[in-house]
Structure formats: structure tokens, C-alpha cells
Amino acid sequence: MPSLVDFPSTYTAYAFLEPGGKLQKIDVPWKFPESGEIVVKVLACGVCGTDETCTSQVMPVPLPRVPGHEIVGDVVAVSSDEKLWKVGQRVGAGWHGGHCWSCNRCRAGDYMTCENQSVNGVNRDGGYAEYVTLRSEAVVKVPEDMDPAEAAPLLCAGISTFNPLRHMPVTSPDYVAIQGIGGLGHLAIQFASAMGFRTIALSSDGSKEQLARSLGADDFIDGSRIDQVQALQKFGGMKIIMATAPNARITENLIHALAVNGTLLVLAVEPQPMKIPPLALLVKRLSVRGWPAGSPKDMEDCLAFARAKNIKCLVEKFPLHKAEEAFDHCKTARFRAVIVP
């Protein structure tokens, strides 16, 4: 165990202290990791829309809380019984912050649906900080030749699009449509194209066509000019439609653009309920599905695929002292805001 002089007595973090409040700078006392934990010096932490749960309390979040679950950094301390991670390794973490090992879902090996799941930045402190303590089993290896700021969002926005798509009943050259070209959507387009699917980008902003095509979209449909459902039906319908932007009205309508046995994959956190007509599901054997990000191994697969296919997360960087600005920017950012301590 390194001596105390090797580490600061306190470090800087930004936390939500009360419901509806803004991020506040706090000093966190340094603590060595307990059994099953490691301490990581944060190099980058992406800002995700779900970080807002800390202040909105849409789900109960104990306060004060340091948010952030798109984390990349270097290991600086491990417990005496740590067997997997070593000081100096480049690692990361996403939404999944650890599991209990003993509930029915864990016994089935499905740790992402653990009944007692820990969530980074929600029920344990996250990465809006100089350092973060992570559960060992929830940590992933990150290639050192990847820009930490570009790699960090892949551990949430990336895995949330890569992982469900690779598990869907779809094969090349089937059609896959991507609704929204934002933080998730611009990655979904790249993943779908790299996997060999005929990829169609859907947006209500015609100015994004050139960007969508540069990311790999074969076609672009501007919802402000034409009916997207009718346009998709002219292709014979979509095998998969990935809804990546929160808009219940648009998403629910896309069910009519699916081909037989098609799937509407809902990935955006949309607070409003959707109205799905049962008849539409029955006639074409359609499905509406969600997908809970991915396990640490899934995230390593995502990073490896992105690296091999040169898939890039488009980011805007903010220093730690501008954490509040980065958080606010998330609501209007075209892609991903990333805090770089």
C-alpha cells in the first residue's frame, strides 16, 4: 500500500447537494480502496442526459452525489487482495457500477439486470472529479492509444447503441433506420454502417444530411419536409428502427415504418409515455424493445470494434471547473460534452 504522502489529503469534485440544485464544488477526503474496489485518476468523464436524475430525482438518488458514469482514467490505488487490476492501467467504467453476485439475475449471469445493481454517479459517486472509486468487477480495460475524451462516451452512449444492435434479429444487408443524430444517434449510424447494414438516418433538421452521410448513412430522410413513415415504407419497411432521441410522438409513429418481424428499439430516456397500437404489433409480428447498455465485457467489445472500424465519438471538452457549464451544455449539445479534469 503506497504511503499517504503519495496522494492528496483531499481532491476536487462537483456534486449535487439538493434536489433541483446546481453542481457545487466540494473537497472529498482521500480514501484508500476497500476490498473489491480500485481508485482511478479521472482523465475524462462524459456528460450524459441521465446525470440529471441526481437533481430531478426521477429515480431516488441519495444526495449529495457526484454524478458521471462515462469514466476513463488511470488506476492509482488498489486493495491488497485485488487480482484483476494494477496501478498504472488505463481503465474505464459506465452506468453499471457493480452487482451483488447473489440475486436471481446474478446467479443467471445477467449482471446488467442485477436486482441490487450499483450505478456509477447515481447510488455511488461518479466521475465529475479528480479521482473516483470504482467496483473492481465493473471496470473495463481501455486502450491507451484512444483519446480518453473520445473513449469515455463509448462506455454509455456507445455501448447503448452498439450492444443492442448486435443482439437484434437483423443481418446484412437488412435496413436499419436511426432516429436522431445526436449523442447516441451519431454513434448508432457509424455502428450500423460498420456492421454492414443499409443505414438510413432520420432527422427533423435538414442541415444534418451531410453529416449523416459522412458518418455512413446510405440515405437521409428529413422529417420537416416529408413523411418519414411513408418514405421508409417505400424501402419495404425497416427491420430495425433505433430511436435515439427523446420524442415520444415521433418514436411511437415509427412503429408503422417497420417491416414484418421488425423491431422498434427504444434507447432514449423519454419521460413521456408512448402510445403503441396493438393492431400494428399483431399484423406484422412487430416488437418494441429496450436494452440496458452492457456489461464490462460488452464495453470492451464496443471499444475494440470502434477502434478497429475507426468509429469516432464527436465531443466538446470542458475543464472540471466548468462542470456546471458542461452539464447545462448536455441539453443543447449536438453530440457529447466531456469533462476533462
Q: pLDDT of 89-101, one tens digit each?
A: 999 999 999 999 9
Q: What is the dihedral of CA 204, 208, 213, 215, to 10 degrees?
A: -110
Query: In whole angstroms, how large is the CA radius of gyration of the chain?
Result: 20
Query: Measuring CA to CA, which residue among 142, 113, 141 is closest to residue 293?
Result: 113
Distance of CA 43 to the CA centre of its chain: 17
Q: Which grid cell is 57?
A: 430525482
Interval 205-231 mean pLDDT = 96
49: Cβ contacts below 8 Å, ≥ 6 apart = 183, 246, 269, 330, 331
Is the model's pLDDT at 53 over the cut of 90?
no
Confidence of residue 271 (pLDDT cuts 50, 70, 90): confident
Question: Residue 272: what pLDDT?
Answer: 86
Question: Residue 2: what pLDDT?
Answer: 42
For the domain with range 168-289, which CATH number is right: 3.40.640.10, 3.40.50.720, 3.30.720.200, 3.30.365.10?
3.40.50.720
Interval 194-213 mean pLDDT = 96
Please report where in the chains the cell 460534452 appears, as a residue.
337
Distance CA 198, CA 178 (A): 11
Distance CA 275, CA 316 (A): 35
Listed by start position, the domains of the chain span 4-157+294-340, 168-289
State phi, psi for 272 to the nearest 5 degrees. Answer: -85, 145
First to last CA, the chain: 25
Write down the pTM of the prediction.
0.94
Q: What is the CATH number of domain 4-157+294-340?
A: 3.90.180.10
Query: Measuring CA to CA, which residue among 221, 94, 208 is closest to residue 162?
Result: 94
Is the model's pLDDT at 3 over the cut of 60?
no
Q: Which grid cell is 14?
A: 462537483
Distance CA 286, CA 113 (A): 24
Distance CA 78, CA 64 (A): 25
